Amino acid sequence: MLDASSAVFAQKGYAGATIRDISSLAGLADGTIYNYFENKFDLLIGILSRLAELERLPDELLQGLQGDVQDFFVAAFEHRMSRLEQREAMQP
């Protein structure tokens, strides 16, 4: 569900995304998502929580939650790309 949410948010933006879009991509009934998440915002929080856990995002990125969601995703993406570039640079 979180992977499908991420893909739909990336394609349509948070405001343009619907639970129906997400459930369709995930291959689930609309109601199934509501068994796990109260609403679309809860899905977004789930994605952000997973990102924070996986990447241990710096505090300045987490502060982006207080601002524009799109800015946060851009900052998180840039952080992820930076980490990937660092890993590639360390490989022989």
Cβ-in-10-Å burial (0-12, 13-18, 19+) of 15 comes to exposed
Predicted local confidence at residue 71, as pLDDT: 72
Class of domain 2-90: mainly alpha
Segment 5-24, tens digit of pLDDT: 989 988 998 889 999 999 99
Against a cut of 0.85, is the pTM above it?
A: no
Segment 41-75, tens digit of pLDDT: 999 988 888 876 766 656 666 565 556 666 777 77
Predicted local confidence at residue 65, as pLDDT: 58
- Is residue 54 within 8 A of residue 12, CB to CB? The reply is no
Q: Which position has the higher pLDDT, 48 or 85? A: 48
